[in-house]
Structure formats: C-alpha cells, structure tokens
C-alpha cells in the first residue's frame, strides 16, 4: 500500500508527510514541482528512508502522472499542491489558474483513469482527498454564524476563486464519474516550515531582524487559526473515515484579530529572545490594506467532530509558543528560504504600501 501526496514539499504537505511516516509504515510518493514555496529542506529528516519517494514534477504533467500512478499504484491521493498566497494571487493570478484549476483538472483526469482500471476491494477502497480552504466561503459579518459545509461559495480573491473552482471540479468528478473523493476546507494554519510570506512567520522573522511589522489596514480582520499538526490529523481522520463525496470543515475554534496575533508573537519574542532596542511591538506599522480583503473567517468544525471524533489537540497558546520556539531554533532554515527570489517578493508586495 502506498499513498501519493502532491505538494508535499510545501508548508502543510511536508508536515503531513513527516507526520504520516512517523505514525505509519505505509510509503509516500511525494510529487512536488518545487516552486518558490517547495523546499526539500523541510523533508531532510526523511533522507535515506525508502518509505519516502520524492519526485520533482508538475501536477499539470499528464504523462508523469500516468507513469507515477502505474508504477506505484497508490491506494489514495492526497492533493495539497497549489499556489497558496492571496497577495501573490493579486499580483499575478495566472499561476493560480494554471496550478489550482488546470492542474487539479489534469490530476483528476489521470486519477480517474487509474481508478477506473482498478477492481474489487482496491477500487472500493480508493480515495482522492482534496485539501482546500475556508476562503472559498467568502467573508463573514462580525456576528454571523461560522461557516458550515453548506455555506454558499463566495470567493473574493483570485486565490480563493481558483480553490473554489478546484473544489467544484472535485465535486463534479464524484457526481459524474463516481470518483471516490473527500474534500476538507481548513482555516489558517501555522507552525514549523511556514513560508515567511504569511502573517505569523513574516512577523517573527521581521521582528528578529528589527524590521517593520506590516499590519494591513486596521488589523481587525479575523481569522481562525489551527496548528498545522492538527490539520494533518484532521486530514488523516477524513481520509480514513470520511464519507464519500462529503466535505468536512477543519478549524481551531480560535478566532483572532490580526493585530492580536501580531501582539502575541511580539510578547512571546519579548519573553524568549528580548531585544536590547525594546519591546518588539514598537515595530508594528500600519500599511495599505490588501485589495478586497476578507474581513472575517470562522469555521464550524462540528461535523468532523460528530462523525469522526476529531478535535484539535493544540490550543492557540501551546501552538504559537511551539511555533515561535521553532523559528528561534531554525535560523538556517529561515536564512535559506530568504535567499533567492524572496527579497524580490517582499519588495514587490510591501514597497508601495
């Protein structure tokens, strides 16, 4: 038995592969294009382990997909590969359409052909697990109930529109062709290996470098935050026991305003690595808001708890402390990801704010 993971060198994918192989002997074939967000350093602990087979390649490459599926005959595909950063989707939506929409389409077609040729128990047990986001549901008013799985799709950014499109493709491949799919829609993750273009790792690395901490708009936008290890355990639960064709929300029951997140990071850094220049919160800088910025996301994760008994293991307090400690002890990882194109992105996104 083997599973095929796409995007397993990115933030969540690499955490998933590491967790999977820490808990199971079942091999993982890891297909990742190694875009700016993919990093083999995340998987260094698996070097020399035959249970991890890394393949550099694109989910849009049909011939490669056919050959991987024929060679490894996975019993499941867990699909993480995507362009994932909202601000990048505003600067350049093309890559999001290419990977998130066309790439998912190509993957679904290859997997459909593979699955159609299976028989008996192998065919019945096969799963395609699509990893998606709460952003497909749009933005909530301050007092609106949290997103359930039946909330209308109202994506507002090129990123969320591309993920919504991919969710629709997955749904259609189930309804039309019977492909055995499950989809999870998760809230904001944080934890080790998070690329420092996203809020929490950006604030940590900027603070340590004495650079401004750029808060978009008034900083009162609300997100639900989930420790990445809890997202991985939620995916494992849905892959193992989720009902076919169903979607499951995964969230941390942890809504917080961005400004509070930044202040919490600053307070932890003040405790763990104080700066001679004074409290890190002095670096907080309000900058021009993100166009079309969603005001609030909140996840109702009762379905996955009711059906599969899943709940997050970390609180925000335990998860964020672990995360800040991880960045403090992984300066080499940070320095490495900040080389190359990282500086160009920071200049493009923040220079005009």
Nearer to ligand NAD by Cβ, of 83 and 294: the residue is 83
**Residue 324 binding: pick among ligand DAU, ligand NAD, none (C-beta 5-8 Å cut-off by kind):** none
**Residue 258 binding: pick among ligand NAD, ligand DAU, none (C-beta 5-8 Å cut-off by kind):** ligand DAU
Least CB distance to ligand NAD at residue 351 (A): 22
Least CB distance to ligand DAU at residue 36 (A): 14
20 binds ligand DAU (CB under 6 A): no
Distance (Å, whole) CA 98 – CA 158: 12
Active site residue 61: no
Active site residue 159: yes
221 binds ligand DAU (CB under 6 A): yes
Q: Which positions lie near ligand NAD, rule CB under 6 A?
A: 6-7, 9-13, 32-35, 37-38, 58-60, 80-84, 99, 103, 131-133, 163, 186, 188-189, 195
Nearer to ligand DAU by Cβ, of 74 and 214: the residue is 214
State the binding string over 152-181 for ligand DAU (x if CB under 6 A, else -): ------------------------------
Interface positions, 96-135, toward ligand DAU (CB under 6 A): 133-135
Q: Left, alpha or beta for 77 (phi > 0: left; psi -120 to 50: alpha)? A: beta
Least CB distance to ligand NAD at residue 38 (A): 3
Active site residue 135: yes
State the binding string over 181-200 for ligand DAU (x if CB under 6 A, else -): ------xx---------xx-
**Residue 99 binding: pick among ligand DAU, ligand NAD, none (C-beta 5-8 Å cut-off by kind):** ligand NAD
Least CB distance to ligand NAD at residue 163 (A): 5
83 binds ligand DAU (CB under 6 A): no
Please report how the helices 158-177 and 104-116 are oriented relative to each other, as an axis angle in degrees rounded to 10: 20
Least CB distance to ligand DAU at residue 297 (A): 5
Strands 255-257 and 28-32: unpaired
Q: Which residues contact 289 (CB under 8 A, 6 or more apart)?
A: 216, 217
Closest to 111 in 3D by CA, of 166, 164, 181:
181
Least CB distance to ligand DAU at residue 181 (A): 19
First to last CA, the chain: 50
| Contact with ligand DAU (CB under 6 A) among 258, 268, 269, 314 | 258
Catalytic residue, from 32, 58, 149, 159: name it.
Answer: 159
CA distances from residue 183 to 19, 204, 237 in whole angstroms, order as listed: 20, 32, 12
Catalytic residue, from 32, 58, 83, 134: name it.
Answer: 134
Residue closest to ligand DAU, measured at CB: 133
84 binds ligand DAU (CB under 6 A): yes
Strands 3-6 and 28-32: parallel
- Half-sphere exposure at residue 37, Cβ-oriented, CA atoms within 13 angstroms: 20
Given the rule CB under 6 A, which residues bind ligand DAU?
A: 84-86, 133-135, 187-188, 198-199, 202, 214-216, 221, 223, 258, 290, 297
Active-site residue list: 134-135, 159
């Amino acid at each position: 038995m083997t599973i095929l993971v796409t995007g397993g060198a990115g933030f969540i994918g690499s955490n998933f592969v590491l967790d999977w192989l820490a808990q199971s002997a079942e091999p993982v074939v890891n297909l990742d294009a190694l875009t700016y967000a993919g990093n083999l350093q995340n998987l260094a602990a698996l070097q020399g382990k035959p249970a991890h087979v890394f393949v550099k390649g694109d989910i849009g490459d049909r011939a490669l997909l056919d050959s991987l599926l024929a060679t490894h005959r996975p019993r499941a595909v867990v699909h993480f590969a995507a362009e994932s950063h909202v601000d990048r989707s505003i600067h350049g939506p093309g890559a999001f359409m290419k990977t998130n929409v066309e790439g998912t389409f190509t993957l679904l077609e290859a997997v459909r052909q593979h699955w159609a040729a299976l028989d008996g128990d192998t065919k019945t047990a096969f799963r395609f697990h699509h990893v998606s986001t709460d952003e497909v549901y749009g933005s909530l008013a301050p007092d609106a109930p949290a997103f359930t799985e039946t909330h209308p799709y109202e994506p507002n950014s090129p990123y969320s529109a591309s993920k919504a499109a991919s969710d629709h493709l997955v749904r259609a491949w189930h309804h039309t062709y019977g492909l055995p799919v499950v989809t999870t829609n998760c809230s904001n993750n944080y934890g080790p290996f998070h690329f420092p273009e996203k809020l929490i790792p950006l604030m940590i690395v900027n603070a340590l470098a004495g650079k401004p901490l750029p808060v978009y708009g008034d900083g009162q936008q609300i997100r639900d935050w989930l420790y990445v290890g809890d997202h991985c355990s939620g995916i494992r639960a849905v892959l193992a026991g989720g009902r076919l064709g169903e979607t499951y929300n995964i969230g941390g029951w942890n809504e917080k305003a961005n400004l509070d997140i930044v202040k919490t990071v600053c307070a932890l850094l003040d405790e763990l690595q104080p700066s001679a220049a004074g409290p890190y919160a002095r670096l907080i800088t309000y900058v021009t808001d993100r166009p079309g910025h969603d005001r609030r996301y909140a996840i109702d994760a009762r379905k996955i708890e009711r059906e599969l008994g899943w709940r997050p293991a970390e609180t925000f307090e335990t998860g964020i402390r672990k995360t800040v400690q991880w960045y403090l002890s992984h300066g080499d990882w940070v320095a490495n990801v900040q080389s190359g194109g990282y500086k160009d992105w920071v200049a493009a996104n923040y220079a005009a704010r």
